[in-house]
Structure 1
């Protein structure tokens, strides 16, 4: 982590349990990031916190350190049953929940606290059995957690700590009713510590905070910006038929070892993946209908370097923490400044530098003014010169489409009859 993106506050200066200090030492944590230095003095005193923090700034460690400290230094609730959860951490996406759990396993390795993970798409019975055996800290997405809650697999009546991560995304994904359902069945705000983190502390986020938290202190680091400081942004204005040659041309010229290309639809994602693969660029495809096990395998292979490029729809824009992503390409401009911010937040993480390149094409260029208004800066324009466009491209084979439901697939060697 770059030193200029660390504060002067050291973890050794904070009053933390010894078992937690050992976990921090194992993870190589010595100095706080700005959001950690700002939030931890308040949170470790038991105060509710509503913090504005972008991805990659260390907010996950901030709330995990608080959760572990609270549970290790405060007595368990009286008459606590095995299915009473002591801390609940809610995340909007499966990827983010998995990442939080991974970080919690690392930092809490010596604490003796039991962790539970619940998210949709896989391992239904396995997750249910783990929660039924009792956990101290439950991490997960709202839908799967509510499913188990309604089955009385666990109880929230004795909850001592609540964390809402990426609250703004909870609204975007339509989870707010689910969140309120869970909050109304927890211990009262005055009897628990609550923390909320969001990329933007909008009116609707703060309304949620004031309704379900105990006089939260609103925190925002002085250098907090809508987009990461160390991400170099640029925008090209290609015609639609120039986008693929431009992307491949830039990749050939820059040779990024690890990059993410964002598109707006699954169809474009498939077509673009085929073009990149056909031209010698190892590429993985991540869209909303990729099964969870395959999704996790693809992300692991991308992180290990088996693929140079990850083509993704916005399902991957939140919650992914993949080290050393040097370039993010917006092959399609997103429809909002907020989505743009979360996409380019996949690079320039933890103080590193990165590049965010956007294509303002004929179909999506009209989203650019709203994006620039949201981030508060005009994105520098780059020329779409002929020398940048890749030539002699290999055309990918045509992707075979699955037949529509109810339509029989023709037998090999036969020709379907044409209806007059």
Structure 2
């Protein structure tokens, strides 16, 4: 394998890479860097995770010189925010021993910090099309001197509908420039774009013709799983022997958050990246995953190309993607930098037709996914899961019942106690009232020091047992007078009379 020092790269860049343990070049880098350094336009095509960023980044940094003048001299356009952050970090590494300044321009963050860096004279801009056009339209971003232009993940830009924006950007850069276009796949519209905006480009494919469309170092497992059993299956896969960092892809942002909550409840150290999260939250979650503070990341496809982590061992497709290109980019999050990886895909019954198309396009030779449940023996052997593993970690904390649930439980507890003839669960006020009916002095009903009613007199009505039937609704005689002094309702008298002598005529 060729080292970077053998490719004619400046020593300060070689040293910056070596400080991170990066010494040898990958095939795409080995083929593109010698052509990019003198200024040849390049179309670079290679599988995701094979080092395309350094393939175009090293020529850009070296061609600008060790001490370039302030102002934007190089523009790198990427389709997503996550990829902008990843490319920015790689270019920042390459310029760590130079005075060159790099700025990331993308949406979801405040304008002020990005504008300040541009005004400070940043020479390399990494950005997404929307924010780049926005700042250029406000005359805060001057691209008239950007003689180095790179389109990264051009096929994703096509998928996201950015081709019209790319044309606007090319109208703002110099006509004479050095242009590089990199992508994992090369659909027709991208080839047409390259012919229109590039000058005699050389098309480089860093693929082994015997390797097939997928990376040989990734093991692909496809299961037909029931949607109600997926969470349990995933939880058991996350306990496989040798599992490192794991990325789980879902189709929707709601499904992503639901899975984050479910796996967190089961005791896993999980984070999420999806559209319902703010940009700051997404960046913190991604940073925690890269730093190893979280070892499981649940993401939607928007983040697929921005996850550049070398030690991802497993990729799990919670839901099958719509096309083979998306599948390749998802699976490409593992097996990076020459390492091995495992890609597990769940196919719902209603999505079998999608799998048939992907299987045919990628030549998997597996038209019928294996029907799989969390108890299936082949799941354990395929993924090296210890026998007897369950879908919940033993260290998972027990969730405390919310206060609302505890309040709802109190009336139920009182009802159960009443059915058993006990006082458990009844309120203190109710117990005090019962004590008063057995001779205790309650309130002002009794004159202090006596047992007679406060109204006194020989005609005074006897004390009424408050636990007797109908008690508590009278101030006077329980059989004839209501609280307001009027006769008690007829219905009440009939009910009471029914318990005594038989009605007349019986």
Per the shorter chain, which TM-score range? 0.7 to 0.9
Separation of aligned partners in 2, 1:360 and 1:222: 29
TM superposition shift of 1:378: 2.5
Q: How does 1:77-116 map to 2 (within 5 A)?
A: 83=71, 85-116=72-103
Partner of residue 153, structure 2:
166
Partner of residue 336, structure 2:
349
TM superposition shift of 1:326: 0.8
Partner of residue 375, structure 2:
387
Considering Cα pairs closer than 8 Å and 6+ residues apart, tell me whether 1 or 2 has the greater RCO.
1
Separation of aligned partners in 1, 2:311 and 2:49: 12
Contact residue 319 and residue 347 of structure 2 kept, 8 A:
yes
Comparing 248-257 with 38-47, greater Cα deviation is found at 248-257
Partner of residue 231, structure 2:
244
Report SS of the residue matched to 2:272. Answer: strand
TM superposition shift of 1:248: 1.9
1:183 paired to 2:170: yes
TM superposition shift of 1:41: 1.8
Partner of residue 65, structure 1:
58
Separation of aligned partners in 2, 1:304 and 1:24: 19
Q: How does 1:3-22 map to 2 (within 5 A)?
A: 8-22=1-15
Separation of aligned partners in 2, 1:253 and 1:126: 43
RMSD: 2.5
TM superposition shift of 1:200: 0.8
Contact residue 80 and residue 303 of structure 2 kept, 8 A:
no
Separation of aligned partners in 1, 2:201 and 2:257: 45
Separation of aligned partners in 1, 2:259 and 2:126: 35
1:118 paired to 2:105: yes
Say if 1:256 and 1:194 are closer, same or farther in 2 by CA, change over 3 A.
same
Separation of aligned partners in 2, 1:31 and 1:309: 29
- Match of residue 264, structure 1, among 239, 246, 251: 251
Report SS of the residue matched to 1:364. Answer: helix
Report SS of the residue matched to 1:235. Answer: strand
Contact residue 223 and residue 346 of structure 2 kept, 8 A:
yes
Report SS of the residue matched to 2:283. Answer: helix
TM superposition shift of 1:383: 4.9
Separation of aligned partners in 2, 1:212 and 1:386: 52
Report SS of the residue matched to 2:47. Answer: coil
Report SS of the residue matched to 1:387. Answer: coil
Partner of residue 323, structure 2:
336
Say if 1:20 and 1:251 are closer, same or farther in 2 by CA, change over 3 A.
closer
Comparing 304-313 with 250-259, greater Cα deviation is found at 250-259
TM superposition shift of 1:240: 2.4
- Match of residue 309, structure 2, among 322, 326, 349: 322
Partner of residue 418, structure 1:
none
Q: How does 1:175-254 map to 2 (within 5 A)?
A: 175-188=162-175, 191-223=176-208, 225-254=212-241
TM superposition shift of 1:255: 6.6
Report SS of the residue matched to 1:241. Answer: coil
TM superposition shift of 1:213: 0.7
- 1:38-61 per-residue CA deviation (whole Å, 9 max, x = no partner) reads 111211221100010222211101
Q: How does 1:130-141 map to 2 (within 5 A)?
A: 130-141=117-128
Separation of aligned partners in 2, 1:28 and 1:305: 18
- Match of residue 51, structure 1, among 44, 55, 80: 44
Contact residue 333 and residue 365 of structure 1 kept, 8 A:
no
TM superposition shift of 1:257: 3.2
Separation of aligned partners in 1, 2:218 and 2:91: 28
Say if 1:361 and 1:129 are closer, same or farther in 2 by CA, change over 3 A.
same
State TM-score, norm by structure 2.
0.71
Count of equivalent residues? 384
Say if 1:283 and 1:22 are closer, same or farther in 2 by CA, change over 3 A.
closer
- 1:39-88 per-residue CA deviation (whole Å, 9 max, x = no partner) reads 11211221100010222211101111110121118x97xxx8x54x2110
Separation of aligned partners in 1, 2:154 and 2:198: 13
TM superposition shift of 1:34: 0.3
Partner of residue 24, structure 1:
17
Say if 1:194 and 1:392 are closer, same or farther in 2 by CA, change over 3 A.
closer
Say if 1:385 and 1:123 are closer, same or farther in 2 by CA, change over 3 A.
closer
Contact residue 42 and residue 203 of structure 2 kept, 8 A:
yes
- 1:317-346 per-residue CA deviation (whole Å, 9 max, x = no partner) reads 112112311111111101111111111111
State TM-score, norm by structure 1.
0.85
- 1:274-294 per-residue CA deviation (whole Å, 9 max, x = no partner) reads 221222122212211211111
TM superposition shift of 1:385: 4.9
Separation of aligned partners in 2, 1:366 and 1:254: 33
Contact residue 229 and residue 374 of structure 2 kept, 8 A:
no
Say if 1:392 and 1:94 are closer, same or farther in 2 by CA, change over 3 A.
closer
Report SS of the residue matched to 2:294. Answer: coil
Mark the runs of 5 or more structure 1 residues left unpaired by the alignment.
Answer: 1-7, 401-411, 414-420
- 1:175-211 per-residue CA deviation (whole Å, 9 max, x = no partner) reads 11111101012111xx211000011122111111110
